[in-house]
Amino acid sequence: MSSGGRLKIERVIGNNVVLVLDEATGQELVLLGKGIGFASKDTSPLVADDPRIEKRFRLDDRDQMKDYQTLLEGIPAETIRISEQIIEMAAQRFECQINYKLYLALPSHIHFAVYRLKNGMDIVNPFLYETKMVFTREYEIACEAAAMIRDAFNVDIPEDEIGFLSYHIHSGIADVSVGQIIKYTNLIQCLVAAIEQRGRIQIPREGTDYARLISHFRYMIERIVNRKTTSNPFMKEIKKTRRQEYALAVELSKLMQEQLHMEIPEDEIGYMVMHLYRLFQALSSTP
């Protein structure tokens, strides 16, 4: 893009985000930059080398861009302002660059959530307990975000909705869709249920053993999906000495393979065995 190119602003999403059209190429872009949308008007042009532009992203799917524009048309400015504050808070706490899509997805989510709550519609999150334990930092930020939303729109935000806000925050930080986060959290629930059923045990949800287990599953899923598995130097010994746990881990790996549509590396099965052994030992010693 040449330094003299003109960028026509099609939509001011917030103080720091705008949708633009590159008049030279016809490409539609999302621009991020401190104050880039402040006091701008939808028809005001920008130059391509505007110093406020920190990041630029192209949405290859034109229909997707139009969907975003249509979606944002009905969202109040106050909702967008609150969303920006939440995103900036998350970026500061995690000291990272937030995925630009969150600037589009979070206002829409908050707008719909406020609508549902004001109209007496229930918001149910079946993964709330796991969310609070797996995404601890995100949940803390979501609690603060809920207070901001409550004060701005005079509506109480239930814990279930705070859980969903946590997903969006993690989505922006980890560059993974909310749908995938829910899918992985559901998978963790299924794995725990299978362990309890096969092992004929009940894992106390408030205990540290449960926290360690689901934390391991979370990071294991992330490693598998991102293909960053590390070798397990204890595999041979594990197969010989922990046969019962190994058999269960193989069953769990098949469940994971069905839902992730990916091969589960044997090294990860080995790490699963180690966690299962530790879990069973801890439960057996509990009075």
The CA–CA distances, whole Å, from 221 to 159, 252, 256, 263 equal 25, 12, 9, 12
Contacts of 168 (CB under 8 A, 6+ apart): 102, 105, 106, 109, 178
Q: What tokens were used for 120?
A: 């007496």
Range of the domain at 128: 77-175
pLDDT in tens, 102-149: 988 899 999 999 999 999 999 999 999 999 999 999 999 999 999 999
Mean pLDDT of 170-198: 94
pLDDT interval class at 73 (50, 70, 90):
low
Residue 2 has pLDDT above 50, yes or no: no
212 and 265 assigned to the same domain: yes
* Among 75, 33, 38, residue whose Cα is nearest residue 56: 33
Check if the beta carbon of residue 234 is closer than 8 Å to that of residue 271.
Answer: no
Which of 88, 21, 96, 97 has its CA nearest to residue 59? 21
CATH number, domain containing residue 280: 1.10.1790.10
Give the domain CATH number at 54: 2.30.24.10
pTM, full prediction: 0.80
What pLDDT was estimated at residue 1?
40
The residue from 49, 73, 97 where one domain ends is 73
Q: Assess whether pLDDT exceeds 50 at residue 71.
A: yes
Residue ending a domain, among 20, 39, 73, is: 73
Which residues are paired to 57 by β-bridges? 30
Same domain? For 150 and 224 the reply is no
What is the DSSP secondary structure assignment for residue 232, as one 8-state letter?
-
Q: Are 88 and 63 members of one domain?
A: no
Please check whether residues 103 and 169 belong to one and the same domain.
yes
Alpha carbon distance 200, 173 (integer Å): 38
Q: Is the distance from CB of 270 to CB of 232 less than 8 angstroms? A: yes
Domain count for the chain, please give it: 3
Which of 73, 104, 124 represents a domain boundary (last residue)?
73
Cβ contacts of 118 within 8 Å, gap of 6 or more: 153, 155
Together in a domain, 166 and 83: yes
Going by pLDDT thresholds of 50, 70 and 90, the confidence category of residue 229 is: confident
Q: At what angle do helices 208-225 and 266-284 cross, to 10 degrees?
A: 180
How confident is the prediction for the chain on average, in pLDDT? 88
Check whether residue 216 and residue 261 sit in a common domain. yes
pLDDT band at 10 (very low <50, low <70, confident <90, very high): confident
The count of other CB atoms within 10 Å of the CB of residue 198 is 14
pLDDT of residue 16: 75
206 lies in some domain = yes
Query: What's the longest Cα–Cα distance across the chain?
Result: 74
Q: Do the domain assignments include residue 185?
A: no
Output the pLDDT for position 65.
Answer: 60
Block residue for tokens 């949708």: 19
DSSP E strands: which ranges in 36-152? Answer: 45-47, 55-58
Is residue 93 domain-shared with residue 53, that is, in the same domain?
Answer: no
Two tokens, residue 223: 């490693």
Tell whether 19 is covered by a domain. Answer: yes
Q: Are residues 99 and 25 part of one domain?
A: no
Domain assignment of residue 1, yes or no: no
In a domain, 180, yes or no: no
Domain membership of residue 244 (yes or no) is: yes
Same domain, 85 and 146: yes
How confident is the model at residue 45, as a pLDDT? 82
